[in-house]
Each structure stands twice: as C-alpha cells, then as structure tokens.
Chain A
C-alpha cells in the first residue's frame, strides 16, 4: 500500500472480510504471546505477569538488532532470506535469556513480577513517546500488485508475514512439547512435580527450559508486532499481556491449543467489535465473552481435554 492511488470504497462484505483479516493478524500475535503465558503457567502454576513486558522488550530488542545489522530501510529479497531469520534468532535468544534471568532473579527468590522494572527499562531506553519501527518488511498489496485484482480489500505481504511466521512457530512449539525429551519432561513436571523428580527428571532445568522457550516466543511475537504495526511503545506490554492472559484463560489455561484458539477468538471479536459496535466497548465485550465462556465452560474452550497440557 501507500501508493498515491485512491483506496476504493468498501461494501458490507468487503468490510467484513477486511475486519476478519485485521482480527486474524491481531489474534495471531495474541496467540503467540498467550502460548508462552500458558506454557509457563502449566509448569510452575504461577502467572508470569512479566511475560507481556518481555514481548514489549522483544520489539525494542529486535529493533536494536536490526540497527546493529545496519537495517533501517525495507529489506531486499536477499536481506529477507538472510538478515530476517538472523534477527529472529538473535531476538528470540535475547528474550529467552531475559526470561530465564527473570526466573532466576525474581520468581524463584522473590516470587514477584518484574513488569514495572522492564517497563522502566524501556522507558529509559526509548523515552515516553511511541517510537517508529522501520518498514523492514516490504509491504506489497498482494491482490492488486501480484494478481491485478482491483479489490477494495487489502491483503498485504505483511499480513501474510504474521500468519507465515506464527504458524511454524506454533507447530514447532507443539512438536517440541509433544515429541522431544524436554517436552516430555515439561509435561511430566506439569502433571506432578514430585513424581517427575522421583523419575529422575531434573525439574529445575525443566523450568529453566520452559522460561527459555516462553521468552523466545515472546521475543518472536515482539519482532512480528514491530514489523507488522511499525510502532512500539513502552506501555504496550501490559495491555498485550492482559489480552494474552485472557486468551489463555479463554482457551483453558495450561492448554497450548487453547491459548492459540483463545488468541484468535479475541482477535476476531475485538476487530469485529471495533467495526460493528464501538472501539470504546471492545474491552468490555471481550471480557464479557470471557465471563460467559467461564460460566458455561469453567475450564475454558479446550480446557477439559487438557492432555497436551504442558
């Protein structure tokens, strides 16, 4: 997008499709954060309220890595295949290390959230006003420029990026939890810590791995958010954490699939509510739905068949 052309008018079904795309991308980011949330909760039964702030710092940290690598403008194809994966890895490693440090420094000794500290780190680092995140990922209006369809609906490469980056991460996480030794140890620890320990599982290291993976996911979400919305602010961690926490509870806390589903549901609901009701009521509507779901399904949407609880 962004060309000098005039955006065509949207009719009612185009509005619905466009808002559903908005909800999908918004929900995908929520889902990614919610999965990290729910995973850590599943293991230590402690809600890591700093998780949203790790996500927020993930955005700033990814910007730092882009800057270090000299990326300030839109990447070329070569850059997309080399630098972008590199920044993904670097950001995920940094936030993973950060999340482990949070566990070591705050949770285990203090049992206290580091949210405020992390927010103040970002505030001191980047200042109080929202900051611009460069257009590192090329934005192409796919329908118009690739397929020559003169549609009023915008589907851009950035929308595709969010989905294309989120789904493999979700699959990888699912594979990690269900198919690897560490995943098995995590599930065992989640079910019964003492018995797992008796079976020779190093519970401490398992918790460490959980925080590591959770932090990496939050970092990836921060990077995706930065590339997609091109803006970052120090306070967005709290809000994102709240939405992701809601997603995790909606889906059934502790359930990975539930977190992903919950994230998407909240994404759609909030986008549709912004369109058809009013942005002013969106939070109220999201939380009302949460209450309704919890009244009729106290364990959340997927909470009961929590076999993949990790």
Chain B
C-alpha cells in the first residue's frame, strides 16, 4: 500500500514535470487535466506504455492546447504492486484522486473491464466523462450480453458518462453471422460455453442470423468442463448444419469442440467452424491440432482491423505512431489515441460552455455532453458516432482463417477479409 502510494506520487510528479514543458506555451484560459488509469508495471508495462504513448500522441497533435486550455496528462497505475495486476482498491483510489482534482476534466481508462466496474460509478457521480481505450465487456454499457442489473448499476446519476471508441464484444456475434451468410452457410448450429462473454456473443449471432435469414438450428449451452463433446457434435451432424458457431474462449475448451468435430465427421467443405476473438490464439491451434483446425476450416472474427489493414485516418495514425515511437503499436495504443482525439474534439466544441461554467462539475458536465454527442467522427476504423449507450456504432471487423504455416505449430491464423 505504502509502495503504491509512493509510486502514485512519483507518477503525479512525473505528470507535473510534463506539464512544465507545455507550461511554456500560452494558456490564456488555464489548464485542464486528463487522468489515465491502467496497469503500468510487470507484464502489463508494454501495453500500458503503448496506451500512454497513444494519449501523448493525440495531445501532441493539438500541440497540447485546445481552445486556449493547456492539456496536462496525469498517468496513474491501477495495478497492485503485490500482484502486478489491476486492483479494485487502487483503481478506486485513482478515480477518487481524479474527481478530487479541480483541474481534472476527463478520466481515460481502464484497461481491464473489471476495473472499469469500480471506477465508472465514481466518475459518474462527479459528472466526469470516462473514455476507455480497451474495455470490451458488453455489460459496461448495455444489457445485451450483460449480467442482471448492468449497466444501470454503473450509472448512479442515471446518465451515461462512460464511452468506448472500441467495439464491444457482442458486436462480433453480429458481424460473424453476416460473414457466415457470405460464406454460403445455409444452416448454422450455435454452441456457447454458458459464460458471459461466450453466451453474449452467441445470442447476438443468433439474433442477427435470424434477422438476415440464416436458419439457426439451435443455440445450445454446453458443459465446457466435459472433455467429451461427441454426443452434441453427433447431434449437429444429424441436424445437417453446415456451420458450427461457438461462443467461447480458449479457456473453456473450444479446442475440444474443434478436435472432436473432425472425429465425428463434421469437416469442411460441408461443415465449417467459426468463433469470436477469444479464440484468436496460437494455444487454440496447439490444443485442437492444426490437422483438425484446417479440417474444419476454422474462422475467427476480430474486433476492428489489424493496424496494417487500416485505411485513411487509421493508416495515418499507424504510420505516425511507428515514426514517433519507433515500434509497432500495442493492441490498444491506437484506440488510446482515438479516445484522446474524441476528448480533444469535445473540449473544442464545448469550450464556450466550459468558460461560462460556475464550478468544476459544470465544466465536466459540458465535456461529458459534448463527448456523448460525438457524431460522424473520422476514426481509425472509419466514420462513426456514439450511440445512446456510449458505444461506437461502426462494426468494421476482420476475419481470420486457419492456414498452413511454417511455424512450430504448423499453422496460424491469417487475415482473410474485412467484415462490415
């Protein structure tokens, strides 16, 4: 605890030092602070640094000044020094620090959806907007794919203050259903691991498939702890389905399904396998074996585009990042840049209201409203707007496919197509 406080103080001092640099510029209307909060140590250090770079990059693009206000970034770490992983107590402390700072205008974070559950209610009470570069758990913003009571429990003020410029997990189910239809599927059988992520995605897949006229035999929850899925797969074979969609992750035994699909004779070209990005891991190919993954023509969707496939603003952002930091962006670095650009744009649009505001809460409220009304934003995955939940309305994703490769495993997931 003590160590973390010292670390936090050090980070704040570092932030102030950074502020000293921009302080050289003219700030006729004073300063506004952006707080960030995500793990900045241990195994998370590369991603944490990547996201910090993304924020800094967006601030630097505006030369650190927006509508006469100087922007100051304060980086906080929400990991516990004991475990190196996000910690609810530290995250709460960070959020409280931000709302207690009269210059703080927006909170950027978190990395872990679990941590966001802690900080959103705190920032919500303070009317402070929170923008995440990385949380994809649907329940943080909407009822689809959520636990009972979500997302209202995160909104004690009754309004939306949490925004994500990254598509939530459940969108993948919708995109996957469209992809399945495009691939010529006539009849799909949906399985899910009965967990929040997997079931949420499977339900959305089902709803979308029905909407676009793709027949669904069933959406069945399986007992993923059971290493024998042959009876269920035999049933799928008897049903004549030509695509098996599995809402699950590698920790809930997707390997077993792929492996045994081949065993019971569910193979391509007659029957294919498809799943969400929780399966886009080399571990999946190792456990299921390349032979089986190739036999079922395994296809996986991925939220957003791979950086090297981005177009327009995305391509430019990717190049700028590489030139500025001399390395490939981490998974969420460009989303951190995108989130910060959204904030800067909102401050610009609400500058006059901020100026007239009587107190800090009114200032924050002005920015929150401006972020919520973000429309037709030129983002890294194309133009998008925030919906009433604070989610992006674009559904640009990519499709991957298992292919033979000269890797130790013998195969890999290769980018196949852009899905829209």
A→B interface (CB under 8 Å): 1-2, 6-7, 9-10, 14-15, 18-19, 22-23, 26, 127-132, 139, 154, 225, 229-233, 235-236, 238-240, 270-272, 274-275, 278-280, 282-283
Complex-state Cα separation, A129 to B284, whole angstroms:
8
Contact residues of B between 271 and 287, Cβ < 8 Å to A: 281, 283-284, 286-287
Question: B371 an interface residue at 8 Å Cβ cutoff?
Answer: no
A-B interface, 3 closest residue pairs, ranked by CB to CB distance from nearest: A7-B265, A274-B231, A280-B221
Complex-state Cα separation, A129 to B248, whole angstroms:
13
**Contact A1 to B286, CB < 8 A, known contacts A129-B251, A229-B227, A279-B220:** no
A22 touches B287 (CB 8 A): no
From B225, B226, B228, B281, name the one whose CB has the most chain A CB atoms within 10 angstroms: B228
A131 touches B286 (CB 8 A): yes
Query: Would you give the shortest CB distance from B234 to chain A, in whole angstroms?
Result: 5
Chain B residues in 8 Å Cβ range of A14? 238
Question: B187 an interface residue at 8 Å Cβ cutoff?
Answer: no
B270 touches A6 (CB 8 A): yes
Question: B256 an interface residue at 8 Å Cβ cutoff?
Answer: yes
**Contact A154 to B265, CB < 8 A, known contacts A18-B234, A19-B231, A22-B230:** yes
Query: Would you give the shortest CB distance from A240 to chain B, in whole angstroms?
Result: 8
B255 touches A231 (CB 8 A): yes
Number of interface residues of B (CB under 8 A): 42
Query: Would you give the shortest CB distance from A136 to chain B, in whole angstroms?
Result: 13
A280 touches B220 (CB 8 A): yes
B256 touches A15 (CB 8 A): no
B225 touches A154 (CB 8 A): no
Chain A residues in 8 Å Cβ range of B220? 278-280
Q: List 6 A-B contacts (CB under 8 A).
A: A9-B240, A22-B228, A230-B289, A233-B227, A235-B225, A239-B223
Q: Please name the residue on chain B nearest to A12 by beta carbon.
A: B238
Q: Please name the residue on chain A nearest to B269 by beta carbon.
A: A6
B286 touches A271 (CB 8 A): no
Chain B residues in 8 Å Cβ range of A18? 234, 238
Complex-state Cα separation, A229 to B257, whole angstroms:
11
Q: Per a CB cutoff under 8 Å, which of A15, A26, A230, A283 touches B223?
A: A283
Q: Please name the residue on chain B nearest to A236 by beta carbon.
A: B227
B→A interface (CB under 8 Å): 194, 218, 220-223, 225-232, 234-235, 237-238, 240, 250-251, 253, 255-256, 259-260, 262-267, 270, 281, 283-284, 286-289, 291, 295
B223 touches A279 (CB 8 A): yes
A132 touches B255 (CB 8 A): yes
**Contact A279 to B232, CB < 8 A, known contacts A7-B266, A9-B240, A229-B227:** yes
B262 touches A2 (CB 8 A): yes
Complex-state Cα separation, A132 to B292, whole angstroms:
11
Query: Would you give the shortest CB distance from B339 to chain A, in whole angstroms?
Result: 31
Chain B residues in 8 Å Cβ range of A127? 283
A239 touches B286 (CB 8 A): no
Chain A residues in 8 Å Cβ range of B253? 130, 233
Query: Would you give the shortest CB distance from B204 to chain A, in whole angstroms?
Result: 18
Query: Would you give the shortest CB distance from A64 to chain B, in whole angstroms?
Result: 17
Query: Would you give the shortest CB distance from B246 to chain A, in whole angstroms?
Result: 12
**Contact A132 to B264, CB < 8 A, known contacts A15-B238, A22-B234:** no
A7 touches B270 (CB 8 A): yes
From A6, A9, A19, A231, name the one whose CB has the most chain B CB atoms within 10 angstroms: A231
Chain B residues in 8 Å Cβ range of A231? 227, 255-256, 259-260, 287-288
B194 touches A130 (CB 8 A): no
**Contact A10 to B238, CB < 8 A, known contacts A1-B262, A279-B232:** yes
Complex-state Cα separation, A279 to B194, whole angstroms:
11
Complex-state Cα separation, A229 to B235, whole angstroms:
17
Q: Per a CB cutoff under 8 Å, which of B232, B238, B287 touches A131?
A: B287
B263 touches A1 (CB 8 A): yes
A132 touches B266 (CB 8 A): no
Chain B residues in 8 Å Cβ range of A232? 227
Q: Per a CB cutoff under 8 Å, which of A10, A225, A240 touches B237?
A: A10
Complex-state Cα separation, A270 to B225, whole angstroms:
14
**Contact A229 to B262, CB < 8 A, known contacts A6-B270, A9-B240, A129-B255:** no
Q: Please name the residue on chain A nearest to B260 by beta carbon.
A: A229
Complex-state Cα separation, A7 to B231, whole angstroms:
16
Q: Please name the residue on chain A nearest to B409 by beta carbon.
A: A132
B232 touches A274 (CB 8 A): yes
A132 touches B289 (CB 8 A): yes
**Contact A282 to B223, CB < 8 A, known contacts A7-B265, A274-B235:** yes
A275 touches B231 (CB 8 A): yes
Q: Please name the residue on chain A nearest to B288 by beta carbon.
A: A132
From A235, A274, A282, name the one whose CB has the most chain B CB atoms within 10 angstroms: A274
B264 touches A154 (CB 8 A): yes
Complex-state Cα separation, A232 to B256, whole angstroms:
9
Q: Per a CB cutoff under 8 Å, which of A139, A229, A235, A275 touches B228?
A: A229
B250 touches A129 (CB 8 A): yes
Complex-state Cα separation, A2 to B260, whole angstroms:
11
Chain B residues in 8 Å Cβ range of A130? 227, 250, 253, 255-256, 287
A280 touches B194 (CB 8 A): yes
